[in-house]
Structure formats: C-alpha cells, structure tokens
Amino acid sequence: MVTAFTHRRGSHCESGVMSSLLHHHGLPMSEPMAFGLSSALAFAYLPCIRINGMPLVAFRMPPRAIVKGLQRGLGFGMRFETFRSPASGTARLDALLDAGKLVGLQAGIYWLPYFPPDLRFHFNAHNLLVYGRDGDDYLVSDPVAEASTRCARKDMEKARFAKGVLAPRGLLYYVTTPPSEPDWAVLGRRALARTTDIMLRTPLPFVGVRGIEMLARRVERLPLDGGGERARLYIGHLVRMQEEIGTGGAGFRFMYASFLQELAGKTGHAALDGLAIRLVEIGDRWQEFAVAAARMIRRRDALAPPALAERLRALAGDERLFFQELRRVQRAWAC
Amino acid sequence: MREQDVPQEGNATLAGHRKAIYAVGDDGKLRLVPSRGWEVEEIVTRQAVEDLERRAREARERVRAGATSPLEYHMYRARMDLALLSQTTGLWRWRVRRHFKPRVFARLPLSLLQRYAEALGISVETLGQVE
C-alpha cells in the first residue's frame, strides 16, 4: 500500500500517469508538461496497421513514448518488467504493492470493468496506476477517471495480458530513483526541436504535416458505393481517434497549447505564449472538422468526402506555418 | 476552445462519467475542464458500437439458419474480428474460419472450446449457444 497518494485527474492516460507518478515522487509536473517535454505531439497516418479494419490515425507518438521520453530527459531511474505468464505478472505486482511501490501498468481497455461499456473497445495501450491492494481488489488510480477506483484481481490480470496489437505482456513500471528538479529551459528547448522535427522534417510521407495531407488525399477518394456506409464508418473512425481516445480535445492540440503556455510562464520565454493561442485556434479548426464529419455521419449534411479533405488540407497548411514559427521561436531562444 | 464553450451535452456513451479537456479560461490560461460530453463524440462512438452490434445480429441470424457457428456471433459480441480472435487464441486464421462451420464447431474438443471461451471472456456453455 502506497501512503499519502492522491488521485490526479488527466485527460490522457499515459501523460496523466506520468504526471501523477512524478508528483508522487516529489517533482510537481503537470500533465501538459509531461506531454510536451516528452515531445509526444505528432501526427501519423498508418494504413498498414488496422484497428477493426480501419487504419491507425494517431495524433501523438506511439505508446510508451511519454514514459521513455521523460525518463530520458529527466534522468531518473525507472524499471520496466514484462512477463511470460499471467500468474508471475500478478505475483510480481502484488509483491511491489506490498513493498509500498506505486506501480504503472499497461492494460487492455476492453477488460477493465470500471470503464463505461460503450467505450470498452480492444485497445491495449491504456496506462493506469495501482497504489494498493485490498483483499482481492486493486486500488486503481486511472487518470482518465474522475476518482480513484477498484478493480478485481482476475479482471486486472486479464487486462494486463490482453492479446493482439500492442499486447501489454503484463508490462509494469515503477520509479527506482526519484527525479530532481530539472532545468526547464534546456528540457523545453530540446523538446520543441524534437516536435517540430517530427511534424516538419520526418522523411516519411505518412508522418507529420505531410501525413495530414496524405490522409486528405485518402479521404478525398473514399468510395461512396453501398450508400456510403463504409465511408461514414471511416470518417467516424477519424473523429474517434481525434476526440474520443482521451486526447484532451482536438487530437492533443489543446494540451500542447497548455504546455507552451506553462513553459512560457516557467522560463520567461514569452514568445511561446502567442504560439499557444494560435495552436488553440488550430485546435478549434480540428473540432470544426469533427462537427462537419459527425453531421455527415448522422445524415444532417450530404456525405461529401472532398469537403472534409479540403478541411484537412487547410489544417495541414495551418500546422505547417505554426510549426515553422515554433521552430523559429525555438532557435531564437538563447539559454 | 473557451472554458464556457466546453460541451456539457450529456454524452450517453460516457455513462455518467465526466471526461476532461483543456480549455481557455477568462484569464487567458488553459486549464483542465470537466466535460459531460459532446454530441459529436456520442455520434461517432454509437456509430462504432452499432456497427459491431449489427455484425453480431447478422451472425446470429446466420447461426439460426445453420450457415455459421455460434463462435462467429460471440466473436462480434466481444467486439473482435477474425484477426484479433486469431491473435488472442493463438490459432491460425484459417482454423478459426473453419470453426465457423457449424459441423466442425459441433465436434470441437473441449480444450479448443475452452481456449475460445477464455479468449472471449465467456463460459463454454455460453459459447455453444446464441441467445
């Protein structure tokens, strides 16, 4: 059982878990800071990875990028363990909890009973914290839930050993040596450079701003046969990836804006403040895209993929200018 | 998005939970604001859930018509597809597909039935029937 643990709310699981974990070990770091400093913002359109027959569209870096990115930047000790058998994974978790450790877990959402039924899809890269055990129940702090909750041991075992894409294999992690107060300006500058590189200079046509453009081309050509049912499912899937999967709104754009604002406050580099407001406006455009798509799904508007493609192209243009400006601000930041 | 514009429309798919999103407050600062949900999210989540429910319903009709086995119905009930069920059970796709044949399914050994039941999170008795 972990003593003096307070549940912290987040909007995204992995950044929320890391914020909570670092707070608990004496480094107050907000969720947006955890997200931004690990350079987690991105865009990727990966048609070869299928989720229920739909391509993967991600607004952030792959799972574990936040955990790993923060660990690299802050240089604190963290241990990761995976397991061959569910029994040994459960035994290890119990032992760590008995030793008073706060433990992070990767789990499949479908098997977590405390999630609302409609949101229980087979997504395996969910993160949560366990801070204790009471008989056969784990005491769970899931950042996307409003309050801490409980989860039966057998359900948690099933969730930790879910199979399929991104199978967690019982992954658990915990802090071994606590972090010390970092130099926010150095970390921030480095993180901004990495994010602008990902968005503007990745030499792969499906990542970053070019990935948004590629998605626009794909949306433009969506076949409308069979009454357009398939096309409606496709655009619905895009909106779910953007809004539904704990992104803090607009595919993490609002959360990143909050990071820029907080970084400006912490380091005194005021130019970031204006960029935060610009990114909020871009986030609003993403949400307008979601509204337009939802109206087509519900048949309030005629299904017109080219109109959606046009919005995506405009967003790609906005984001290109934004990240170029962010790059200039980053370069001009002497420290 | 401004704090007062954060949707509070009561998205039914959240089942009373509140999610949290970042929005700009009156002081110009972004902060985490609880949201009862947005109609847009409800539309896209319901769409995905209904698509899976439709597939399960169609599979159930086919089970009754003797065209497929209850396994296919329970696969969709568990929100899975062939690829995922194959990965979860560790069985080749062609084998899973073969077990969709009612006659093959009827002769499956208990060990395989248990493997499927375990993967789908249901009991062996449930696996054998459609309600």
CB–CB contact B21 A248 (8 Å):
yes
Radius of gyration of chain B (CA): 21
Are B52 and B115 in a shared domain? yes
**A35, A122, A284: best to mutate for the B interface, most B CBs within 10 A:** A122
Place of tokens 């954060």: B6
**Residue B117 is part of a domain; what is its CATH number?**
1.10.260
Count Cβ atoms below 10 Å from residue A88 Cβ, excluding itself: 12
The Cα A165–Cα A171 span in angstroms is 14
- List, as ranges, residues 64-123 from A with C-beta within 8 Å of B: 110-111, 116-122
Are B28 and B58 in a shared domain? no
- When divided into structural domains, chain B yields a total of 2
Closest to A236 (Cβ–Cβ): which among B18, B34, B48? B48
DSSP H helices in B1-131? 39-64, 70-77, 82-89, 93-98, 102-106, 110-120, 124-127
**ipTM rounded to 2 decimals:** 0.88
Closest to B20 (Cβ–Cβ): which among A10, A280, A284? A10
What local confidence, expressed as pLDDT, does residue B5 receive? 85
Q: What is the pTM of this model?
A: 0.92
Amino acid A203 reads: P
Q: Are B40 and A290 in contact (CB under 8 A)?
A: yes
What local confidence, expressed as pLDDT, does residue B62 receive? 95
Are B23 and B84 in a shared domain? no
Q: Which chain B residues are Cβ-neighbours of A10 within 8 angstroms?
A: 20, 32
Chain A residue with minimal CA distance to B50? A118
The Cα B80–Cα B25 span in angstroms is 41
Are B17 and B78 in a shared domain? no
Burial of residue A80 (number of CB atoms within 10 Å: 0-12, 13-18, 19+): middle
CB–CB contact A280 B87 (8 Å):
no
The Cα A117–Cα B101 span in angstroms is 30
Q: Which chain A residues are Cβ-neighbours of B32 within 8 angstroms?
A: 9-11, 31, 248
Q: Which chain A residues are Cβ-neighbours of B30 within 8 angstroms?
A: 32, 254, 257-258, 261, 276, 280
Q: How far is A75 from chain B (nearest CA, A)?
A: 28
The Cα B131–Cα B123 span in angstroms is 14
What local confidence, expressed as pLDDT, does residue A335 receive? 58
Q: What are the tens digits of pLDDT across the range A187-223?
A: 999 999 999 999 999 999 999 999 999 999 999 999 9
Answer yes or no: is B42 within a domain.
no
Whether the CB of A285 is below 8 Å from some CB of chain B: the reply is no
Are B63 and B21 in a shared domain? no
Q: How far is A280 from chain B (nearest CA, A)?
A: 7
From the list B62, B63, B66, B71, the residue with the least C-alpha distance to B113 is B71
Contacts of A267 (CB under 8 A, 6+ apart): A184, A185, A188, A335
- List, as ranges, residues 63-122 from B with C-beta within 8 Å of A: 78-81, 83-84, 87-88, 90, 119, 121
Structural domain that includes position B23 = 3-37
Q: DSSP letters of A141-192? A: E-TTSSS-EEEEHHHHHHHHT--STT--TT-EEEEEE------HHHHHHHHH
Are B116 and B74 in a shared domain? yes
Closest to A164 (Cβ–Cβ): which among B13, B21, B84? B84
Closest to B43 (Cβ–Cβ): which among A249, A254, A297? A297
Are B65 and B110 in a shared domain? yes
From the list A28, A103, A34, the residue with the least C-alpha distance to A71 is A34
Are B114 and B62 in a shared domain? yes
Are B30 and B82 in a shared domain? no
What local confidence, expressed as pLDDT, does residue A37 receive? 95
Are B57 and B121 in a shared domain? yes
Q: Are B40 and A294 in contact (CB under 8 A)?
A: yes
Q: Which chain B residues are Cβ-neighbours of A232 within 8 angstroms?
A: 47
Whether the CB of B43 is below 8 Å from some CB of chain A: the reply is yes
Whether the CB of A283 is below 8 Å from some CB of chain B: the reply is yes
Domains and CATH numbers, chain A: 13-177 (3.90.70.10), 184-331 (no CATH)
Count Cβ atoms below 10 Å from residue A152 Cβ, excluding itself: 14
Answer yes or no: is B113 within a domain.
yes
Are B25 and B53 in a shared domain? no
**A8, A19, A33, A163: best to mutate for the B interface, most B CBs within 10 A:** A163
Whether the CB of B48 is below 8 Å from some CB of chain A: the reply is yes
Q: Which chain A residues are Cβ-neighbours of B40 within 8 angstroms?
A: 239, 243, 287, 290-291, 293-294
Residue by residue, pLDDT tens for chain B (131 residues) are 888 888 888 788 887 788 888 999 999 999 999 888 888 888 999 999 999 999 999 999 999 999 999 999 999 999 998 988 999 999 999 999 999 999 999 999 999 999 999 999 999 999 998 87
From the list A128, A319, A276, A127, the residue with the least C-alpha distance to A188 is A276
Are B66 and B96 in a shared domain? yes
Spans of chain A, pLDDT less than 50: none
Closest to A118 (Cβ–Cβ): which among B34, B45, B51? B45
Q: What are the tens digits of pLDDT across the range A216-265?
A: 999 999 998 888 888 999 999 999 989 877 777 788 999 999 999 999 99
Whether the CB of A50 is below 8 Å from some CB of chain B: the reply is yes
Strand partners, A138: A133, A151
Whether the CB of B41 is below 8 Å from some CB of chain A: the reply is yes
Two tokens, residue A293: 């798509």
Chain B residue with minimal CA distance to A49? B83
